[in-house]
Chains A and B, each alone.
Chain A
Amino acid sequence: MNEHESEHILPYGFLAQILAGLVLLTAVTVGVSYIDWGFLNVPIALFVASSKATLVLLFFMHIKYEGMVIKVSFISTMLVLAILISFTFWDVAFR
C-alpha cells in the first residue's frame, strides 16, 4: 500500500451530507419527471442519475481518496463502457 492510499475514514457528518445530497437529487429526478422538457427529458434524467452515481463513487466508494492506479483503472472502465454504448449507436442511429 503506498502513501497515497493511507487510511481515510470519513466522518459520519460528512457522509450524512452526501446522503442528504443523494436524497435531494432523487427528489429532483421525481420533480423534473413532472415537467415535459421535450428532447431534453432523457438527457436531464441521465444527468441527475450520473451526478448521484458520481457522489456514491467519489465518497461512499472512496475513489476520491484512492491512488492513481485505481483512478486510472476506474476511468478506463468507464471509457470502455462509453465506447461500447456509443459504438452501438453506429447501428441504431443509422438503421
Chain B
Amino acid sequence: MEQVKSFYETPSPAGLTGIKAWLLTHDHKRLALMYLWAVFFWLVLAVFLGMALRLELMFIGETIMPPEIYNSFFTLHGVIMIFLFVIPAIPAIFGNFFLPIQIGADDVFFPRLNLFSWYLYMFGGLLAVISLFTGDGFADTGWTFYVPFSVTTETNVSLTVTAAFILGMSSMLTGLNFVTTVHRMRVKGMGWLQIPLFTWSIYATAWVQILATPVVSITLVLVVLERFLNIGLFDPAKGGDPLLYQHLFWMYSHPAVYIMILPGMGIISEIIPVFSRKAIFGYKGIVVSSMAIAIAGSLVWAHHMYTSGMSDVSVFVFSLLTYLVAIPTAVKVFSWVSTMYKGSILMTPPLFMSLIFIYLFTVGGLTGLVLGAAGTDIHVHDTTFVVAHFHFTMFGGTGFAFFAGLHYWWPKMFGIMYDFKKAYIAAVLATVGFIFHYIPMFILGMQGMPRRYYDYLPHFETGNFLAGFGGILMVIGIMLMFINLWASFRVREPASADPWGGTTLEWSVPSPPPLHNFVEEPKILEYPYDFSGVLARAAKNKG
C-alpha cells in the first residue's frame, strides 16, 4: 500500500506540471492545501494586527498608532479573522481534504466548482487588500458595518463589503458542494448513521452556509446601494429602519458563529474517541445536536440587539431562544467528557489541544449565558466582556480546534510527523497567554470598559496592560506552533498510514493519500467508532 503514488505526484487533470498542477487542479486535497497556505497567511496577518491593537492599548494615550489607524486596524483584524480565517479555515481545509475520504468518495461532487470557490476566496482577499490602499483607506466601521455610520463614513466601505460579498459567495458554493457530495457520493453501504462526526458537522455547517450567507450578501449590497444612491432603506427620515440593517446583518452573522464553531466541534468529536480508544459517547446525540445547533443557532440573531431599541417582546423571545442553543452545545461537551471516562487515554498534542478547547470553549459558552440573558447583557453590552466571550468561543473554541485538527491530520496530509515536545510547549504558552489576554477583558468589561475604544480612564490601565502581556505570550506560543510544524518539512520523519489508531476511513489510506484516495474498496464499519480492531491490532503487536 505504501508504494502507491501520492496525490503530490499525480496531478489532476493529468499532464499538468509545476504551478499549473496546483492552480488548475480539480483534486480536493490539493485545493485543501491551497486553502491552508492562504488561510495561514491571513491568520498570521490578523494575529499581528490584533497584537498591534493590544500593544496600543497597553498604556494610556497614544502608544504606537494614531486613532484613525487603530479604527482601521480593528476593522481589518475582524474582517480578516472572520471572513478569511475562522469561517473558511476548517470547512475549506479539513472539510475539503477529509470529507470525501471519510465517506469513501474520490473527490467532491463538483470539483471545478471547488476550484472556482478557491479563486473567489483569493479574489475576495485581494479586494480586501486593495481597499487598504485605495480611496480614503480601509473601512473604520468594525466588521459589522453598522448603518448609519457605514453609509456616511468617507472610508472605503464599498470595496470592503464587496470583498466580504465575494468571500460569502465562495463560502456558499463550498457549502453547496459539501451537501451534494454527502448526499450523492457516499460509498455504497454507508448509511447516515455511519458517517463520521466530522463529516456530519461539516454537513450541518454547509446547510447554514447555503441558507444564511445570501442574507448578508444582499444586505452588504444594500449598504453599497445606500452609499451610491441614497435610497433610504435604513433612514427613518425616508421611511426606512436602521434596525432593519441590524436584523439582516445578524440573520447571517449569528448563524455564522455556528459556521465557525460546528466544524471545530466535529474535529474534537474525531480526536477524543481516537485517543481514548473508546467509542464516542452518544454518537446519535452528537449528530442530532449538530443539526439542532445549526437550526436553533439560526433563530437567535437578535440577541445582539438587546440595547438597540428593539421591542421588549423581541428581547424576551430571542433571549429564550438563545438559551435553547445551550442544550445541544452542552450535549456535545458532556459526550466528549463521558467518552474519556474510563477510556485508555493516550496523550498526544491533538488530544492536549482538544482538552484545551473543551476548557476554553466551556468558559466561552458559560459567559455567553451572561450575554444571552437580557438583564445582565444590558450591563456588559458593547464592553470588553463581549470581546472576551467572543474570543473564548471563537479562538479558544474554533482556533484551538483548528490547531488540534492541524496536529491530528498533519501526518495524513503531508506524510510526516512533527516534534511532540515543541507542540506541547507551544500549546501551553498559547493557552497561558490566552488566559492572561482575555480574563482581564472580562473584568474590564464588568467594570465598564467599552470595546473598540482607543483610549481609557486610568483605572483600566492594569487590566489592559495584563491583556497586552498575555497577548504577547499567546502570539509567541502560536508562532512556535507554526514553526514547529514548518520544521517537520525539514526533518521529514515519515508518518505511517495510521499513526494514531483511528477508525475512520482517512486512516485506512496511505499518508499522504493517492489521487483517488482509495487503493482498495473502502471497508465500512457497522459503527464508525468501533475500536475493537485497533485494540486487537495493538494487542497483537505487543504480544
Contact = CB atoms under 8 A, between A and B. Distances in A.
A69 B317 contact: no
Interface stretch (B306-314, B332-340, B368-376): B306-314
A77 B209 CA distance: 12
Contacts of B317: 87, 90
Contacts of B211: 76-77, 80
Given A76-B211, A80-B298, A95-B310, 13 more contacts: A69-B183, A73-B179, A77-B211, A84-B215, A87-B302, A90-B302, A90-B313, A90-B318, A91-B313, A93-B311, A94-B313, A94-B314, A95-B311
A83 to B, nearest CB: 7
Contacts of B215: 84
B314 A91 contact: yes
B251 interface: yes
Contacts of B241: 92
Interface of B: 179, 183, 210-211, 215, 241, 243-244, 247, 251, 298-299, 302, 310-314, 317-318
Contacts of B311: 90-95
Contacts of A80: 211, 298
A17 interface: no
Interface string A53-95: 0000000000000000100010011001001100110111111
Nearest to A89: B314
Given A77-B211, A80-B211, A90 B314 contact: yes
Secondary structure of the B contact surface, majority rule: helix
A61 to B, nearest CB: 16
Contacts of A88: 244, 247
Contacts of B244: 88
9 contacts: A69-B183, A77-B211, A80-B298, A84-B215, A88-B244, A90-B311, A90-B317, A91-B313, A95-B310
A29 B299 CA distance: 33
Secondary structure of the A contact surface, majority rule: helix
Contacts, number: 39
A90 B317 CA distance: 8
Chain A, interface residues (CB within 8 Å), range: 10 to 19
A73 to B, nearest CB: 8
A24 to B, nearest CB: 30
A83 B299 contact: yes
Contacts of A77: 210-211
Q: Quick one: which of A73, A80, A93 has the most chain B CB within 10 A? A: A80
A87 B450 CA distance: 30
A81 to B, nearest CB: 8
Contacts of B318: 90
Given A69-B183, A80-B211, A94-B311, A87 B243 contact: no
Shortest 10 CB-CB distances between A and B: which pairs?
A94-B311, A94-B313, A91-B314, A90-B314, A95-B311, A91-B310, A80-B211, A90-B317, A91-B311, A88-B247
A39 B319 CA distance: 32
Contacts of B183: 69
B298 A91 contact: no
Interface string A24-44: 000000000000000000000
Contacts of A95: 310-311
Nearest to B179: A73
Contacts of A73: 179
Contacts of B243: 91
Nearest to A77: B211
A91 B299 contact: no
A69 B317 CA distance: 32
A95 B179 CA distance: 39
Contacts of B310: 91, 95
A10 B179 CA distance: 28
A12 B290 CA distance: 45
Contact of B299 (A87, A92, A93, A94): A87
Nearest to B300: A87
B478 to A, nearest CB: 37
Q: Quick one: which of A73, A90, A91, A95 has the most chain B CB within 10 A? A: A91
Nearest to B295: A80
A56 B433 CA distance: 57
Contacts of A94: 311-314
A77 B211 CA distance: 7
A84 B314 contact: no
B301 to A, nearest CB: 8
B455 to A, nearest CB: 34
A80 B247 CA distance: 15
A6 to B, nearest CB: 16
Contacts of B210: 77
Q: Quick one: which of B302, B310, B313, B314 has the most chain A CB within 10 A? A: B314
Contacts of B313: 90-91, 93-94
Contacts of A83: 298-299
B472 to A, nearest CB: 42
A94 B215 CA distance: 23
A76 B204 CA distance: 13
Contact of B251 (A84, A91, A93): A84
Q: Quick one: which of B243, B302, B311 has the most chain A CB within 10 A? A: B311
A60 to B, nearest CB: 20
Contacts of A91: 243, 247, 302, 310-311, 313-314
Nearest to A95: B311
Nearest to B208: A80
